[in-house]
């Protein structure tokens, strides 16, 4: 079966490599023949082993009826959306690793795929080579998912881990991440949580059946986390992680949020170190399930893409029943209504400890001119209001999870 690749960057060239190298074992393990026919990229790759397949003309792919499966690994929404939607409308299966595309235009593309009876698959868009999308989609068979929580961005997890383990400060840890190639020159999308937000939107859409767009999701990054936060949290038995999470509420709405959060050291999520990712799924029948692994990397991501390609090839005449519906109005609950507890650090001004104790009724520790405490679980708005009323000089307030 002929395959074309759109976008020959890190992941796209990895897909080329994996298909070429593993054609034999793919045939043996999955009983499908895969062959690359075209690769679209605006750049020149004259020295590549795939030079003879390169094209700069999208129509070479679109109008080639022999090409049944198209891999989109160019990233970004435009022109990826245009290319993907045209391929689907021409009856070609499309596999992508492009989380921005899926998070922002997934429902439209899934609808076009349904209309033309082809598959639009994107396992690699969340968690690189870790199987996440498919297990979640499978979990839905005979199981109601109530909650998903993930460490979905390796760059921020690497930075936080360096702060926790090596007591490096944020700026130095970011610099190291850049030197190691884990963070981009402009790291905004990672450290401000936008990347994690796209991923949790994809998972929420899949788990809860309606497209959840990133625009509506409260997103907070890790750039304000200090070494003091990390150390105080550690003394209380927690590590700080960037957690992307969503939860189905009794009122039929969902909580969805990306923010730094305290995770108990006894939680399996606390053991997710370095650039690793993990996704915890809470189901009514299965209980907590976690998938863990490297969330990025050329070959890991490429192998997830190729897994989807094989799935398309094995089910070429039949569309998988997979995807979600249109956005629901007022589906996302105001994040301040979500129940949480807060970790608070404040200056130990006169009477601060007493004020905190009186207002929140919890243990308050004093150390190095600061007070530190963790509140009970309440709606966040209530906690914030109370905190304001205490007039404490708050240094940081970070949500605490119960995973």
- Residue ranges that bind a second copy, judged by CB under 8 A: 18-19, 22, 25-26, 29-31, 129-131, 134-135, 138-144, 266-268, 270-273, 276, 283-294, 297, 299-300, 302-304, 306-307, 310-311, 314, 318, 321
Nearest-approach distance from CB 265 to a second copy, in angstroms: 9
Burial 156-183 (b: 16+ CB within 10 A, else e): bbbbbbbbbeeebebeebbebbeeeebb
Q: How far is CA 90 from CA 49, 54, 98, 118, 146, in A?
A: 29, 21, 20, 9, 37
β-partners of residue 246 are 148, 256
**Nearer Cβ to a second copy (20/56):** 20
Q: Are 150 and 291 in contact (CB under 8 A)?
A: no
Nearest-approach distance from CB 39 to a second copy, in angstroms: 17
Neighbour count for residue 9 (Cβ, 10 Å): 13
Catalytic entry in 86, 99, 104, 199: 199
Q: Are 183 and 160 in contact (CB under 8 A)?
A: no
Upstream peptide bond of 79 is cis (omega within 30 degrees of 0)? yes
Q: Are 262 and 238 in contact (CB under 8 A)?
A: yes
**Nearer Cβ to a second copy (13/219):** 13
Give residue for tokens 């383990």: 165
CA trace torsion 116, 119, 124, 127 (10° rounding):
100
Gap between the Cα atoms of 243 and 149, Å rounded: 7
Gap between the Cα atoms of 271 and 35, Å rounded: 40
Burial classification of residue 386, based on how many CB atoms lie within 10 Å of its CB (0-12 exposed, 13-18 middle, 19 or more buried)? middle
Gap between the Cα atoms of 308 and 306, Å rounded: 5
In whole angstroms, what separates CA 370 from the centre of its chain? 35
Catalytic residue flag (residue 199): yes
**Nearer Cβ to a second copy (67/95):** 95
Nearest-approach distance from CB 315 to a second copy, in angstroms: 8
Classify strands 67-72 and 2-6 as parallel, antiparallel or unpaired: parallel
**Residues with Cβ within 8 Å of residue 310, at least 6 apart in sequence:** 26, 30, 32, 34
Give me the helices (H) in 4-64, please: 10-30, 58-62
Nearest-approach distance from CB 33 to a second copy, in angstroms: 13
**Nearer Cβ to a second copy (18/387):** 18
Nearest-approach distance from CB 360 to a second copy, in angstroms: 30
Nearest-approach distance from CB 359 to a second copy, in angstroms: 34
Nearest-approach distance from CB 344 to a second copy, in angstroms: 27
Q: Which residues are known catalytic residues?
A: 199
């Amino acid at each position: 079966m002929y395959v074309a690749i759109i976008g020959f960057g890190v992941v796209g060239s990895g897909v080329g490599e994996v298909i070429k190298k593993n054609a034999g074992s793919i045939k043996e393990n999955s009983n499908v023949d895969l062959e690359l026919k075209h690769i679209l990229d605006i750049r020149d790759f004259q020295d590549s082993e795939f030079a003879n397949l390169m094209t700069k003309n999208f129509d070479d792919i679109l109008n080639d009826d022999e090409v049944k499966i198209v891999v989109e690994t160019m990233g970004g929404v435009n022109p990826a959306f245009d290319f993907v939607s045209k391929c689907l409308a021409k009856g070609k299966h499309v596999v992508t690793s492009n989380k921005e595309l899926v998070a922002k235009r997934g429902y439209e593309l899934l609808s076009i795929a349904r209309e033309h009876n082809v598959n639009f698959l994107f396992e690699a868009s969340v968690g690189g080579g870790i199987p996440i999308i498919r297990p979640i989609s499978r979990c839905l068979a005979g199981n109601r998912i109530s909650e998903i929580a993930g460490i979905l961005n390796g760059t921020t997890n690497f930075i936080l881990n360096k702060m926790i383990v090596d007591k490096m400060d944020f700026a130095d840890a970011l610099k190291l991440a850049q030197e190691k190639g884990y963070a981009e020159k402009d790291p905004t999308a990672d450290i401000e949580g936008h990347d994690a937000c796209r991923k949790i939107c994809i998972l929420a859409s899949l788990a809860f059946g309606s497209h959840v767009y990133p625009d509506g999701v409260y997103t907070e990054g890790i750039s304000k986390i200090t070494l003091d936060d990390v150390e105080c949290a550690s003394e209380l038995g927690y590590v700080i992680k960037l957690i992307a999470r969503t939860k189905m509420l009794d009122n039929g709405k969902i909580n969805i949020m990306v923010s730094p959060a305290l995770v108990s050291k006894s939680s399996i999520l606390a053991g997710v170190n370095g650039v690793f990712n993990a996704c915890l799924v809470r189901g009514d029948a299965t209980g907590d399930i976690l998938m863990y692994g490297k969330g990025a990397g050329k070959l890991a991501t490429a192998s997830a893409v190729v897994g989807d390609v094989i799935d398309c090839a094995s089910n070429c005449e039949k569309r998988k029943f997979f995807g979600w519906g249109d956005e629901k109005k007022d589906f996302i609950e105001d994040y301040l209504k979500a129940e949480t507890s807060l970790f608070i650090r404040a200056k130990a001004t006169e009477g601060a400890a007493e004020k905190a104790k009186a207002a929140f009724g919890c243990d308050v520790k004093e150390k190095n001119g600061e007070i530190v405490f963790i509140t009970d679980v309440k709606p966040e708005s209530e906690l914030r209001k109370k905190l304001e009323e205490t007039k404490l000089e708050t240094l940081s307030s970070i949500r605490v999870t119960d995973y």
